[in-house]
Amino acid sequence: MNAETGSEADFRPHSSHWGVFTAAMRDGELLVRPHPGDPDPNAILQNFPAALRHRARIAQPMVRRGWLEAGPGPDPRRGRDEFVPMAWDAVLDLLGAEVARIRDRHGPGAVFGGSYGWASAGRFHHAQSQIHRFLNCAFGGYVASVNSYSSGAASVIVPHVLGNYEALTKHNVTWDQLAQHTEVVLAFGGMALKNAMVAGGGISEHVERPAMKAAHDRGCDFILLGPLRSDLPEEAGAEWIANIPGTDTALMLALVHTLVAEGLQDQDFLDRYTTGWAVFERYLMGREDGQPKDAGWAAPITGVPADTIRALARRLHGKRVLVTVAHALQRAEHGEQPVWMAAVLAAALGQIGLPGGGYGYALGAIGYYGRRANAVPGPTLSQGRNRHGDYIPVARIADMLLNPGMTYRYNGQTRTYPDIRMVYWAGGNPFHHHQDLNRLRQAFARVDTLVVHELAWTATARHADIVLPATMTLEREDIGFSSHDPLMVAMHRITEPFGEARDDYDIFAGLSRRLGVEEAFTEGRSSREWLRHLYARTEQALRELGHPAPDFDAFWEAGTLALPQAPDDGGPWRAFREDPEANPLPTPSGRIEIFSETIAGFGEADCPGHPAWLPPQDVPRAGTPLHLVANQPATRLHSQLDFGEHSIASKRRGREVACLHPADAAARGIAEGDVIRLFNERGACLAAAHLTTGIRPGVVQLATGAWYDPEDPAEDKPLCVHGNPNVLTRDVGTSGLAQGCTGQLTVVEVERFTGNLPPIRAFDPPMTV
C-alpha cells in the first residue's frame, strides 16, 4: 500500500480514445495511471482528474428560459439566454411531448439526428449508436449525416479511384513494415504523434514513435512536406521541406513530371495496375494547355525551389518509398486532389503493394491505422433501421438549416436540403467541429428545438433549448474495443455520477417509455445486461477460432482480454500487386484509376476526371495576408476536457497558443507571449503568441478545441476571447464531389491586442433562473 498513490487493488481498468488506463478514487481525488504495456502513453489522460468535478460539468437538466416561455420556434437568443433547472421526470415529460409533436406534425424528415461527434470510447454507451437507435425507435428514422469531419473528401473519392477506403487505411502498410522495410517516407502533412495518439474505442499501445525511431535508426529517410516542422517527431530525424499550405498537389505533380521527363517512372507498374495514365500524362506534360506541370511551374505555387523538387524526385527512384498524406490535406478546398494525386505519385514510383512501400494514405492520422486487425469482432450496439433514409454530407449542417429546399451536389447526385425543426445531439460539439461559427449560430437560431446531451457546458450545450446532463465515461461501466488494438477492456465504473447526470442510455430509455417504444429501445435489458449480451459475440468468435474464450464474468474480473490479430500480410494491396486479375481493386476498372470515367461523368468543375492542380480561392491577399492552419490540438482530443489540467497547462494567460514565425511577428510588433487578435471577414479571436522558426513564414497555426467564448454573444460576430479558430474558418465544401469539411486552412491577419483583456468565461456555467 502506498499512501501517496493508493493501493494497487484500488485501481480499476478503464479506457478512453486517447489510451487505456487504470484509475482509482482516493480521498475524493482521481488518480490515473496509463496502461503498463503502453510504450508511449498519452499525457492527455491527465485531463481526467481536474475535469471530473469541474464547475463546467452539468449537474442537472436545464431548459432554456425563452423556449420554456415562448414554446418551440426560431429564436436568436440561443446561446445567450438563461436556463431554468428542472427535475428529470418533468424534463423528460416536456421533451417527450415535444418529440411527439414533431413526429406527429412533421415526421422524421424534420429531425436532424446526425449528431456527429467522438463522445467516449465505450462501445455500449457509444453516444452515436444510442441516439440513432433512439431516433429510429421513436420516429422510424431521421435525417442522418454521412462521412466525417476527419476524412470527408478522402472517404468519397477513394472508392471511385482506389477502391475500399478501409483497406487503404487499415489493411495496408503497417508500422512494423515501415520500421523494417521502408527506405524513404515522403510524408505530406507529416505524421504528427498528437494525431496517432488517439484511436476511437481505445488504444493500449502507442507504437508510432518507437516505429519511426526504429526506421530512422535503420537508415530510413523521413521527408516532411508541410508548413509545420512539429508534424513529425524528432525521433524520425526528418528533413523538412516547408511548402506553402494547400499546394501539395502541385508539388506531387512536379515530382511525377520530373520522373516522367527523366524516364524514371515505373511504366510497367503504370501499365499493369492503373488505368487512365495516358489521359493524365497529356495534362501533366501540358500537351493540351501548353503548361507542363514541371518543377519550374510548381516552384512559385508551392514555395519550394525547382531544384529541390527535381532532386527529391530523382532521390525517390528505385527506392522502397512510402508516400503518406495526412488527413489535414484533404480538409481543405479541393481536398480530393492531394489524396488522388498521391496515389498517382506512388503508382509512378511502382512500390504499391510491396512491404513498407506504396501509398499509406493517412498513416499516422489516427491510432488504428498501420496496425494488424483483430481477428475477432468487438461489441457493437445495433442502431436499428433508419426507414427515412435522407442524409446530408456531415459538414453541410449550417447550409441545410439555413436553406431548406435548396439543392446541392454530392457524389454525382443533385440533392435537396430538408426542412429541419428539431436538432438532437448527443456526444458531439458542433461549436468545436464546425466552420464559421457565426454562421452556425444563425443556423441554430432557425430551428424549433435543439436538444443536447452533454457532460459539460460546451457552447453547443449553451445554445440548446433542452440540456440533459450525461455521465462521463468514468461514471459508468462499458467495454473498450477498437478494431486494430489487441486489448479489449472491461471499463469499470470508477466513481459516482456527477450531480444528477444520467447515462445517455437511461435518458433515452426514459424518453422511450414516454413515447411508447421502451421495449423496442431497451429490449428489456439493463446496462450491465447489455454489456453481457454484446460481449457474447466476441466470446463466440474466440471460441470458433479455438482461442481461449473467457465468459463475461471472467472477462470482467480480469479487466482486460488480449485478442488474436490477423497477420500483417499487406492486405488487398499486396494481393492486387501479386495478381491484379485474380485480386482486382473494387473500382470500376479493377485497377487504380488515374483517370476516372465516373468522376469525369459527374461534371464537377472543382473535381475533374483526373487529379489536377485547381488554384484555391481562399489565398492570402491584402487584409488577410497570412495562412491559418487550424489543426488538431496536442493536449486534448478535439474539444474534450478542454478544462482539464493538461489542456489548461498548455494555454497562456488562459488563452490558446497561436504559433507564428518571428519574421511575421516582428513585422507586426508582436513579442513572445503577447495576446494577439486573429481576424478575417468572418470573425475574430484572441490567442497568446508563440514565436517559432518551426513554422513557414506567412503561416499562423492555431489548434482547434479551445471552447468558443464570445465576448458579447448579442453581437453578430463577437470576438472569441479564448482562441477557437473556427470563428475564422470557411463553411464551404471541398468540392461538389465530396462536400467535405475545409476547416484546416484559411487566411487571416494578426495584430497585437492592446485593449483590456476580456475575462475567459468558457468554463463558467450559464446563468440560471
* Interface ranges with ligand PGD (CB under 6 A): 117-120, 125, 127, 149-150, 331, 426-429, 432-433, 453-456, 458, 470, 504, 630-632, 637-640, 704, 725-726, 729, 743-744
Residue whose CB is less far from ligand PGD, 184 or 702:
702
Q: Work out the burial of residue 671: count CB atoms within 10 Å of its CB; fewer than 13 is exposed, 13-18 middle, 19 or more buried.
A: exposed
Question: Whole-angstrom Cα distance, residue 230 to residue 173?
Answer: 23
Chain residue whose CB lies nearest ligand PGD:
743
Question: Whole-angstrom Cα distance, residue 70 to residue 158?
Answer: 48
Q: What is the DSSP string of 582-611?
A: TS--SSTTSSEESS-HHHHHHT-TTS-SS-
Question: Whole-angstrom Cα distance, residue 333 to residue 572?
Answer: 30
Cell digits for 235?
525521433
Question: Whole-angstrom Cα distance, residue 686 to residue 677?
Answer: 5
Query: Which residues on adjacent β-strands are paired with residue 187?
Result: 224, 324
Q: Determine how β-strand 321-325 pairs with β-strand 184-188.
A: parallel
Residue whose CB is less far from ligand PGD, 352 or 501:
501
Q: How many CB atoms lie within 10 A of CB 74?
A: 11
Amino acid (1-letter code) at residue 311: A
Asked if 223 contacts 184 with a C-beta cutoff of 8 angstroms, the reply is yes
Asked if 665 contacts 691 with a C-beta cutoff of 8 angstroms, the reply is yes
Q: How far is the CB of 137 from ligand PGD (least distance, A)?
A: 18
Q: How far is the CB of 363 from ligand PGD (least distance, A)?
A: 16
Q: How many CB atoms lie within 10 A of CB 654?
A: 19
Asked if 192 contacts 629 with a C-beta cutoff of 8 angstroms, the reply is no
The b-or-e profile of 241-252 (16+ CB within 10 A means b, else e) is bbbbbbbbbbbb
Q: How far is the CB of 347 from ligand PGD (least distance, A)?
A: 27
Q: How far is the CB of 364 from ligand PGD (least distance, A)?
A: 14
Question: Whole-angstrom Cα distance, residue 376 to residue 618?
Answer: 46
Residue whose CB is less far from ligand PGD, 347 or 747:
747
Residue whose CB is less far from ligand PGD, 174 or 746:
746
The b-or-e profile of 506-539 (16+ CB within 10 A means b, else e) is bbbbbbbebbebbeebbeeeebeebbbebbeebb
Question: Whole-angstrom Cα distance, residue 715 to residue 709?
Answer: 13
Q: State the catalytic residues.
A: 116, 118
Residue whose CB is less far from ligand PGD, 334 or 638:
638
Q: How far is the CB of 254 from ligand PGD (least distance, A)?
A: 26
CA dist 734 → 152, 327, 596, 737 (Å): 8, 13, 18, 8
Q: How far is the CB of 437 from ligand PGD (least distance, A)?
A: 10
Residue owning grid cell 457552447: 459
Q: Work out the burial of residue 314: count CB atoms within 10 Å of its CB; fewer than 13 is exposed, 13-18 middle, 19 or more buried.
A: middle
Residue whose CB is less far from ligand PGD, 612 or 637:
637
Asked if 377 contacts 414 with a C-beta cutoff of 8 angstroms, the reply is no
Residue whose CB is less far from ligand PGD, 230 or 265:
230
Residue whose CB is less far from ligand PGD, 509 or 630:
630
Q: How far is the CB of 743 from ligand PGD (least distance, A)?
A: 3
Residue whose CB is less far from ligand PGD, 103 or 123:
123
Q: How far is the CB of 766 from ligand PGD (least distance, A)?
A: 15
Asked if 451 contacts 517 with a C-beta cutoff of 8 angstroms, the reply is no
Q: Strand runs (DSSP E) across 594-654, as ranges? A: 626-629
Using alpha carbons only, give the angle 500, 489, 382 rounded to the nearest 5 degrees: 70
Q: How far is the CB of 740 from ligand PGD (least distance, A)?
A: 10
Asked if 700 contacts 628 with a C-beta cutoff of 8 angstroms, the reply is yes
Q: How far is the CB of 191 from ligand PGD (least distance, A)?
A: 15
Cα 630 off chain centre by: 13
Residue whose CB is less far from ligand PGD, 477 or 504:
504
